[in-house]
Amino acid sequence: VRMVDVIEKKRNGEVLTKAEIELFVNGYTDGTIPDYQASAFLMAVYFKGMNAEEQAHLTLAMVESGEQIDLSAIEGVKVDKHSTGGVGDTTTLILVPLVAACGVPVAKMSGRGLGHTGGTLDKLEAMKGFHIELTKEQFVKQVNDLKLAVIGQSGNLTPADQKIYALRDVTATVDSIPLIASSIMSKKIAAGADAIVLDVKSGEGAFMKTLEDSKALAQAMVAIGNEVGRNTMAIISDMSQPLGNAIGNALEVTEAIETLQGKGPEDLTELCLTLGSQMVVLGGQAESLEEARKMLKEVIQNGKALQLFGDLIEAQGGDRTVIEDPSRLPRAQYQIPVVASRSGYVTKMEADDIGIAAMLLGAGRATKEDKIDLAVGIVLNKKVGDYVEKGETLAILHANSEDVTQSTELLLQHIHIEDAKITPPPLIGEIIT
Ligand code: URA
Ligand code: CA
């Protein structure tokens, strides 16, 4: 077969074989297939789609293009969790120690934030001294000793995905469900997870703006995972407003600590209990979701989860005393309130724009090369459905510059206040297995 025949076949809407998909992935990765053919192929996939089997072939071909992490030296079922990205999504920081405290080993590879979405690695680095580089041997040993470790993604993982993703970015082929699903799943599978819990975000602040698209993406990823022998399930969760109250790196570490102390925001706590229960069941530590939830609440109450977070910080070079005293985290110079310009009910807090407001303060990167300020960000005082008086504080900007005009305007524009009270969209949507 020649690449041109593979392109033609997909252009005509036919189903590709494993060999044809491998021809594309291997040829594009090793440079024998040029950008113009790969672009045409990706556009054909964008328009004609791929069935579940094709998506599994594509995923595995990308997995096999690079290094695969072997976690078999870690005892137990290794359960990974992935979020498709949101604003103020602090769940990983909380879930890692939370499920580890219930006996599930967590060997986590995380990424950095880009645009209006945050990344777990940046948040962890808000703790002075915390390092995310461990050798594979150190990584495995730490999970065996402590039950948890979080590191950055190795450069050799799924090189095919890295190259294809860069091409998709400039050929208007990013938002294709088979391409997104295979891209995400290839990284999870290469990272060695036995079981995968997916948190697919839906709404203004997410990749997928509608429930219908989020559900289709979740179904595609679950199908791939199960097709390649990794127990996979997904939940759809709301990202029309930011999750929790804090947006920004050190601020989210503080929020994570508060949640592990049992004093976190209601929505963030509930999402962690929901995802965590699934992880504990997949990890074989509980028979039912109800039992798992009970265990999770117990390790919050008895402080075990918080202490494990301390163990993680200490093992990776940070100062564990922040778990008792989060004021030791970097703090911005100015705390500037944004106040309501009228009375009424909060009907909408557009997560993407609020994320951008935090990015403009320095909490996130507009481009990959940007430096971020770990101390800055936004703490929301109100959520959708709350009543607010004119002049009351909607949010506090934590800034290292006195001029916060742009961020203030974004918040005032995108936090809607109206006369009629509305019920916020449900936090947890469908569960897909
Ligand atoms: N995230 C990924 O890793 N890949 C995609 O294609 C989209 C989002
Ligand atoms: Ca948050």
pLDDT tens across 303-354, in order?
Answer: 999 999 999 999 999 999 999 999 999 999 999 999 999 999 999 999 999 9
Alpha carbon distance 320, 311 (integer Å): 7
Number of residues that this document lists for the chain: 433
Pick from 183, 189, 213, 239 the residue to mutate for probing ligand 1's pocket: most ligand atoms within 8 Å of its CB: 183
Q: Is residue 128 among the annotated active site residues?
A: no
Q: Which ligand is nearest to the CA of 246?
A: 2
Q: Is residue 183 among the annotated active site residues?
A: yes
pLDDT at 11: 98
Residues within 6 Å of ligand 1 by CB: 165, 179-180, 183-184
- CA–CA distance from 254 to each of 77, 258, 375, 378, 401 (Å)? 30, 6, 11, 12, 21
CA 371 to chain CA mean position, Å: 20
Q: Can you tell me the ipTM of this complex?
A: 0.90
Alpha carbon distance 16, 236 (integer Å): 30
pLDDT averaged per 10 residues, the chain (length 433): 97 98 98 98 98 97 95 94 92 98 95 86 95 93 96 89 95 95 96 96 89 96 96 96 96 98 97 98 97 98 98 98 96 98 97 96 90 96 98 98 97 98 92 94
Q: Is residue 161 among the annotated active site residues?
A: yes
Choosing from 65, 110, 182, 183, the catalytic residue is 183
| Ligand 1 atom 5: residue of nearest CA | 180
Using CB atoms within 10 Å of the CB of residue 369, give its burial: 0 to 12 exposed, 13 to 18 middle, 19+ buried: exposed
Choosing from 147, 187, 188, 201, the catalytic residue is 187
**What is the distance in A from the centroid of ligand 2 to the CA of 247?**
5
Alpha carbon distance 190, 65 (integer Å): 10
Place of tokens 């004609």: 48
Nearest one of 207, 209, 211, 153 to 180, comparing CA atoms? 207
| Ligand 1 atom 6: residue of nearest CA | 180
**What is the distance in A from the centroid of ligand 1 to the CA of 146?**
31
pLDDT at 125: 94
Q: What is the pTM of this model?
A: 0.94
Q: Which ligand is nearest to the CA of 179?
A: 1
Q: What does the buried/exposed string (b/e) look like for 160-187 if buried means 16 or more CB atoms within 10 Å of the residue's CB?
A: bbbbbbebbeebebbebbbbbbbbbbbb
Choosing from 161, 194, 238, 267, the catalytic residue is 161
Quick: pLDDT tens for 125-134.
999 999 999 9
E strand segments, 14-89:
79-83
| Ligand 1 atom 7: residue of nearest CA | 180
| Ligand 1 atom 1: residue of nearest CA | 184
Using CB atoms within 10 Å of the CB of residue 424, give its burial: 0 to 12 exposed, 13 to 18 middle, 19+ buried: middle
Ligand 1 atom with least separation from CA of 168: 6
The token duo for 122 is 């940046």
**What is the distance in A from the centroid of ligand 1 to the CA of 155?**
16
pLDDT at 155: 75
Ligand 1 atom with least separation from CA of 179: 6
Q: Is residue 341 among the annotated active site residues?
A: no
Place of tokens 């101390």: 375
Ligand 1 atom with least separation from CA of 174: 6
Q: Is residue 168 among the annotated active site residues?
A: yes
CB distance 89 to 258 below 8 Å: no
